[in-house]
């Protein structure tokens, strides 16, 4: 009887170990570990991080969410969490319903299953998820990672469906539905996140971050399109999971992953922005714009969007390159020189870190990269493009140009 019990115990133990190894190998997401939420109130940890992972789109169909999840589990097994917690809201293209999961060394532990409606880009769903996250994983500090598609301040062409009416800014794609950035800002303000890491494209946009300036103290994101693999979670999470999170370390880990590659694969821009300096930058820019500087007629700007098949123009340009062009055309004015110097002073405080490869997918040469993009207004009527006139950055800042 004892021999049979030992033999059975050996088989069970081996099966558990094989499951754990399988969970962290290859590019497939490990099989979730069904487990009820622990009874009673969880003890607070130093930091809890919510990853809002919207993969019911081309990224999910390509399996990039599963690759990233495998890296997260490996980071956990490596000890990167240090006793802190990573909770994931996963809207999976291969699952009928979204789930809340926790990353553990053995795999993903299911915490909650959600109804398919409302959509994951609906504000009420994000509110619900944040509430569940804070209840399940109380912590001294909270971080947020947003994972999906994004377009900075604009909606691209035909993909204009969204849950909040037609508006110009969006994050996240859920079955061709989107969340407008002002709606996102409304959800996140007052939720207590001290950082937001955008594992998505084009979110180092002044227009976008200015809308979100009260949602967190510091942001990390990209001016340009990111490779589909996104953040290298195994090497970046140790920086994000610490109580005193190091967004510059995480941004450097992401940039470093792609900067060592060659050819088309060597493509990445990353920025870390101090959100507490954005209002100072807005005021300095407004004062500069109020001098009514003019652009050289032949100025084309430093774009950070690849050309679209439908011929639609670029809307995301390097902010500092644009300011420099305005300045050098009208720099004889003492008023202009003073206003320009104030912008340079604030930029030193606002842009904590920035780096770029020489090009974007071997398509756009990067000759200037300050870490922030903006829209170039050449004429008052340009504010009507893509609803730009509705943005807080236009109302508070760019409208002073004319």
Question: CA triplet 62, 66, 67: central angle to 5 degrees?
Answer: 90
Q: How do residues 108-119 score in pLDDT, each as one tens digit?
A: 999 999 998 888
The Cα 76–Cα 39 span in angstroms is 23
Instruction: Label residue 42 by pLDDT band (50, 70, 90).
Output: confident
Chain centroid to Cα 274, Å, comes to 15
Name residue 142's beta-bridge partners: 48, 193
pLDDT at 170 over 80: no
* Residue written as token pair 């140790």: 238
| pTM of this structure | 0.86
- In this predicted structure, what is the pLDDT of residue 29? 44
387 pLDDT more than 60: yes
Number of H helices, E strands in the chain: 12, 16
DSSP bridge partners of 91: 54
Tell which phi-psi region holds residue 145, choosing left (phi > 0), alpha (psi between -120 and 50) or beta. beta
Q: In 212-352, which ranges are continuous DSSP H helix?
A: 233-240, 247-259, 278-289, 319-329, 334-350
Task: Say how far apart CA 189 and CA 184 lie, in whole Å.
Answer: 9
Residue-wise pLDDT tens digits, 243-280: 999 999 999 999 999 999 999 999 999 999 999 999 99
HEC string for 118-135: CCCCCHHHHHHHHHHHHH
DSSP state of 38: P
Digit-coded pLDDT (tens) for 93-108: 888 899 999 999 999 9
pLDDT in tens, 120-139: 888 999 999 999 999 999 99
Of the candidates 294, 282, 266, 244, the residue with the CA atom closest to the CA atom of residue 355: 266
Q: What is the mean pLDDT of the chain?
A: 86
- Rounded CA-CA distance 343/323 in Å is 9
Instruction: Give the Cα separation of 319 and 346 in Å (integer).
Output: 13
Identify the CA nearest to 49 among candidates 89, 13, 93.
89
Check residue 36 and give its pLDDT.
41
């Amino acid at each position: 009887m004892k021999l049979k019990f030992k033999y059975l115990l050996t088989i069970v133990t081996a099966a558990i170990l094989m499951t754990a190894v399988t969970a962290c190998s290859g590019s497939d997401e490990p099989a979730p570990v069904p487990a009820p939420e622990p009874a009673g109130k969880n003890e607070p940890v130093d930091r809890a991080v919510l990853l809002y992972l919207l993969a019911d789109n081309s990224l999910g169909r390509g399996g990039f969410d599963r690759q990233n999840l495998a890296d997260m589990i490996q980071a956990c097994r490596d000890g990167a969490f240090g006793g802190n917690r990573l909770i994931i809201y996963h809207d999976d293209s291969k699952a009928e319903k979204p789930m809340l999961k926790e990353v553990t060394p053995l795999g993903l532990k299911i915490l909650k299953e959600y109804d398919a409606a409302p959509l994951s880009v609906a504000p009420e769903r994000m509110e619900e998820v944040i509430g569940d996250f804070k209840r399940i994983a109380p912590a001294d500090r909270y971080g947020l990672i947003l994972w999906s598609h994004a377009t900075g301040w604009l909606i691209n062409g035909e993909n204009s469906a969204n849950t909040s009416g037609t508006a110009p800014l969006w994050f996240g794609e859920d079955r061709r539905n989107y969340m407008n950035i002002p709606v996102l800002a409304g959800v996140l303000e007052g939720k207590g996140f001290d950082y937001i890491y955008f594992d998505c494209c084009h979110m180092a946009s002044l227009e976008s971050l200015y809308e979100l300036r009260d949602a967190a103290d510091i942001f990390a994101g990209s001016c340009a399109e990111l490779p589909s693999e996104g953040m290298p979670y195994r090497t970046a999470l140790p920086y994000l999971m610490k109580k005193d999170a190091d967004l510059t370390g995480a941004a450097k880990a992401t940039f470093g992953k792609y900067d060592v590659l060659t050819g088309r694969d060597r493509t990445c821009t990353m920025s870390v922005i101090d959100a507490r300096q954005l209002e100072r930058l807005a005021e300095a820019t407004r004062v500069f714009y109020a001098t009514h500087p003019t652009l050289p007629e032949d100025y084309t700007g430093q774009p950070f969007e690849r050309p679209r098949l439908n011929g639609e123009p670029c809307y995301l340009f390097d902010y500092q390159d644009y300011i420099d062009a305005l300045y050098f055309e009208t720099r004889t004015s003492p008023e202009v020189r003073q206003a320009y110097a104030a912008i340079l002073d604030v930029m030193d405080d606002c842009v904590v870190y920035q780096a770029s490869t020489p090009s974007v997918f071997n398509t756009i040469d990067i000759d200037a990269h300050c870490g922030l993009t903006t829209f170039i207004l050449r004429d008052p009527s340009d504010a009507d493009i893509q609803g730009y006139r509705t943005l807080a950055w236009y109302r508070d800042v760019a409208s002073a140009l004319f």
